[in-house]
A and B are shown apart, each in its own frame.
Chain A
Amino acid sequence: MLNRYPLWKYLLILIVCVVGVIYALPNLYPQDPAVQISTTNGSLGSQQLDRVTQALSDDDIQVKSAAMTGNNTALIRLTDAEQQLPARDVVDNLLDNDYTVALNLADSTPSWLTSLSATPMKLGLDLRGGVHFLLEVDMEAAVEQRLKATASAIRADLRDQRIRYRSTDVDDNALHLEFANAEDRDAARDQISQTFNEFQLENRDEGRRAFLDMTLTEQAIKDIQDYAVQQNLTTIRNRVNELGVSEPLVQRQGPSRIVVELPGVQDTAEAKRIVGATANLEFRLEARPDAPDSETESFPFRNDPQRTATLSRDVIITGDRVSSASQGFDQNGRPQVNINLDGTGGSLMNQATRTNIGRNMAVLYIDHSTETRTVTRDGEQVEERIPTTSRSIISLATVQSALSNRFRITGLDSPTEASELALLLRSGSLAAPIYFVQERTIGPSLGAQNIQRGIFSVIVGGLLVIAFMLIRYKAFGVIANAALAVNLVLLIAAMSLLGATLTLPGIAGIVLTLGMAVDANVLIYERIREELRRKTPAQQAIHAGYGRAFTSIVDANLTTLLVAVVLFSIGTGPIKGFAVTLSLGILTSMFTGIVVSRALVNLSIGGKPVKKLWI
């Protein structure tokens, strides 16, 4: 008998290999450390560029190339990453304030590969460094938000108990309630002291007016602030994960700050917008015409600020009750966000809409922003931040029937805005506004020496596997090694396509999967040897070896794949990244171990009457 594959199988394998090589190829072109110059109101031309390159070479910095990349931007590629920071300082000193000088990593992928959307893998924070953001959580706003929410809850509570109040007012760390008379106040005080025990209550009389002052205790303020930082940390982690940045670093620093470090993101604009975004939603009913002023608030419409609507002060739910959100289009092709509420949110929404069919409900879009101004105070330059909160109505529609936990929101400007809003709702809102206090590029956390040793050990490990297979399986070892090489190419191609980030443990993981990937071939070859010992003819032994080892290989790999898939769907961050590498490794090694190595055997000796196998 002879071992042959039909032509289409060889062609299929060839196509897979060619595609693999193409998408793995960009990794061979290393990213150049570069300095990017851009200007908004200066002029940038080859003259300036010549001046810059001259200055750099005067400083013994080797410039690989310097070229204009647009009308107002230029890219100076360097040969040595160590010289990137000094180079930026040189250029920064040379050019005046009209120019922005930023570090950059320029892909040197040839254009024919870029046109196939082939890109190299990114290097992680440990190998290459990345961008470092330091965010400050606005603690005062966190307390104020909590007080406002409490005020809203108290109003609803008092109305339910039919206790009349005049107004509620928030300042500093206190909440002030005004009542028509002392009896109402005492009734309210009884009610409030039962539910809100984080407040110190105090009566205050001003003439005939009766007030109740509620002050937060020190401990309560600390708890609120702690919660705000923790909650923001979780939300930012979710957002960074939603952005698809793998191997990021998000951690608390000091009492009120959060550090975010992103690897390989050189276009920091998008990351910055998403990380710091504070958009949220509020659902409120339109006020009844006869409602007292103390219970209503007026808001402008988002797309027509001239138009306003008067809404009830009470919030039905906020975006925090959203359990999932996705961007879509309505039947007219306008962007919309589909929303699913969690259990509590669903029942709150149902209660509110069931009794108010026929009234209008508004969706408010809330955006906190912080303007930073540099002012001179006492002769020193101080950065002053002015937080502003804008609330605007994105839709006002009649409640047709009781809403449940699923509905959609229209009235957004663009699909981009809709998908960003969906992302923000999914990842949870920030418990308190945050602003950026620092933005830096950060060097690799591993020393150059450590990286070199790591990579050297990985190469040695790979060579040892190759040597082992050659010694143990001779001619068949050559085939196994060829299959292993294809496996490595396919794995790198798949990881590049998925935009994976490579860290040093990640590289070690790849080599490890290679060590394990030879398993399929080992299983097959041991079976062939067994068959040969039973005096089975050569071609038949090959056939039986591949056939019998097949179920073992499939069973073993499918169970491991199952683990990887579960880890991927449940895990986050580094666990997810590892699960991706593991599952890709299993798939490519099954393909190369079974199909590619068989094709090579069939091609080389499958068609010949061989007497003896060199195995």
Chain B
Amino acid sequence: MRQFDFMGKRRIAFIVSIVLTIVSIGALVLLNLNLGLDFTGGTVVELHYATVPSLDDIRTLLANSGFENFSVQTFGATDEILVRLQQTFSNDVGNQVVSALSSGGAQLELVRAEFVGAQVGDQLRDQSGLGMLVAMAGVAVYVAFRFQYKFALCALISLGHDVLIVLGLFALFQWEFDLTVLAGIMAVIGYSLNDTIIVYDRIRENIRLSRSDDMAQIFNEAINQTLSRTLATSGTTLLVLFALFFLGGDMIHNFSISLILGIVAGTFSSVYVAAALLIVFKLERQDLIPAKKENVEGEEELP
């Protein structure tokens, strides 16, 4: 089977990673995330129609009038409609909505227009932030315990790299960031970690089996051995995501974008960040095999 020299090209990969990370941080700082209705709140408009309207027509009319990020629901009865908009509340939002909707000839009146607060409270935001940090610390301890601290450090950097890039691209292109995207980011964390650990596991196994001290060579073998698996798993997951992306409609559109980006970044980083960084951190055989065992013949370590 053909062997790709992954480690030989690690410098190019590092440059790509660093550029992407800097762009992401820049985008996050300068442009900020385009937070959705869930996070920002907006305006709620309650309408009363004279005759039962079609919800799809209302959606089309609103979209044609330039409203974005809205939801339309029936409210108690079929002729009572509740519209939520991300637009900041002002006194004439209600009338704007009414005039946009009555352009189709429908008879309707405004019941009320009020601002609505964010669905996600500060408490929830702080708690999720804290949760992420504790989760990262937990992962670091586990990986340090199962592997070695250098692995833990590199796994964390690679995880941060993936999350940062997905967030950065969302900020850069000003895609709407709502609760579904947050869920997507959490799935990316799970996926990226999974991928990294699989590669690490093979690296650990190969270091124990091989007598060579050429880490780059060992890493290359490990990555090549896991390559078909990596491509198969990323492939199946991406298949699902592309189906969601192209066919799934607005609601899961951004959710699937976050995951597609996350999985591409996660696959790339498990090779080039997580593994290649181990070389930078000067991983040695002794890190995984206690010095005492150095004298023991390699064969005896085989199961």
Q: Which of A443, A529, A557 contacts B74 (CB 8 A)?
A: A443
User: How many A-B residue pairs lie within 8 Å, measured between CB atoms?
Assistant: 243
Q: Does A222 contact B (CB under 8 A)?
A: no
What does the 1/0 interface line of B183-220 toward A look like (CB < 8 Å)?
A: 10011011101110110111001000000000000000
Contact in complex: A555, B197 (CB < 8 Å): yes
Contact in complex: A234, B121 (CB < 8 Å): yes
CB distance from A356 to the nearest CB of B (A): 37
Contact in complex: B240, A465 (CB < 8 Å): yes
What does the 1/0 interface line of B255-292 toward A look like (CB < 8 Å)?
A: 11001000000000000000000000000000000000
Q: Does A566 contact B (CB under 8 A)?
A: yes
Contact in complex: B246, A457 (CB < 8 Å): yes
Q: Does A508 contact B (CB under 8 A)?
A: yes
- Of the four ranges (under 10, 10 to 19, 20 to 34, 35 or more), the interface on chain A belongs to 35 or more
In whole angstroms, how far apart are the Cα atoms of A566 and B117 in the complex? 28
Contacts of A460 in B (CB 8 A): 243, 247
In whole angstroms, how far apart are the Cα atoms of A129 and B202 in the complex? 48
Contacts of B116 in A (CB 8 A): 251-253, 259
Known contacts A441-B76, A555-B201, A570-B131; is A563 also within 8 Å of B228 by CB? no
Q: Does B72 contact A (CB under 8 A)?
A: yes
Contacts of B107 in A (CB 8 A): none
What does the 1/0 interface line of B224-256 toward A look like (CB < 8 Å)?
A: 011011001101110111011011111110011
Segment at the A interface, from B19-27, B134-142, B168-176: B134-142
* CB closest chain-B residue, reference A467: B239
In whole angstroms, how far apart are the Cα atoms of A461 and B247 in the complex? 10
Contact in complex: A505, B252 (CB < 8 Å): yes
CB distance from A161 to the nearest CB of B (A): 38
CB distance from A426 to the nearest CB of B (A): 15
Q: Does A385 contact B (CB under 8 A)?
A: no
In whole angstroms, how far apart are the Cα atoms of A129 and B183 in the complex? 21
CB distance from A83 to the nearest CB of B (A): 10
In whole angstroms, how far apart are the Cα atoms of A94 and B16 in the complex? 71
* CB closest chain-B residue, reference A570: B131
Known contacts A563-B139, A570-B127, A582-B187; is A508 also within 8 Å of B44 by CB? no
Contacts of B75 in A (CB 8 A): 132, 440, 442-443
In whole angstroms, how far apart are the Cα atoms of A497 and B143 in the complex? 32
Q: Does A485 contact B (CB under 8 A)?
A: no
CB distance from B51 to the nearest CB of A (A): 12
Contact in complex: B131, A571 (CB < 8 Å): yes
CB distance from B118 to the nearest CB of A (A): 7
Contact in complex: A530, B225 (CB < 8 Å): yes
In whole angstroms, how far apart are the Cα atoms of A88 and B56 in the complex? 22
Q: Does B50 contact A (CB under 8 A)?
A: no
- Residues on B lying within 8 angstroms of A by beta carbon are 1, 41, 44, 52, 55-56, 59, 71-78, 80, 82, 84, 114-121, 123-124, 127-128, 130-132, 134-135, 138-139, 142-143, 146, 179-180, 182-183, 186-187, 189-191, 193-195, 197-198, 200-202, 205, 225-226, 228-229, 232-233, 235-237, 239-241, 243-244, 246-252, 255-256, 259
- Residues on A lying within 8 angstroms of B by beta carbon are 85-86, 88-89, 126, 129, 132, 233-234, 237, 249-254, 257, 259, 440-450, 453-454, 456-458, 460-462, 464-465, 468-469, 472, 504-505, 508-509, 511-512, 514-516, 518-519, 522-523, 526, 529-530, 533, 548, 551-552, 555-560, 562-564, 566-567, 570-575, 578-579, 582
* Contacts A442-B74, A454-B252, A516-B194 known; 11 new A-B pairs at CB < 8 A: A233-B121, A237-B121, A454-B248, A456-B247, A464-B243, A505-B251, A509-B183, A556-B198, A563-B189, A575-B128, A579-B186
Which 8 pairs between the two chains have the least Cβ-Cβ distance? A252-B117, A443-B74, A440-B76, A457-B247, A570-B131, A461-B240, A461-B243, A457-B248
23 contacts between A and B (CB under 8 A): A86-B52, A132-B76, A233-B121, A253-B116, A442-B76, A444-B73, A454-B249, A454-B252, A457-B243, A461-B239, A462-B240, A464-B239, A464-B243, A504-B251, A526-B232, A529-B228, A562-B135, A562-B138, A563-B186, A567-B131, A570-B127, A571-B127, A573-B124
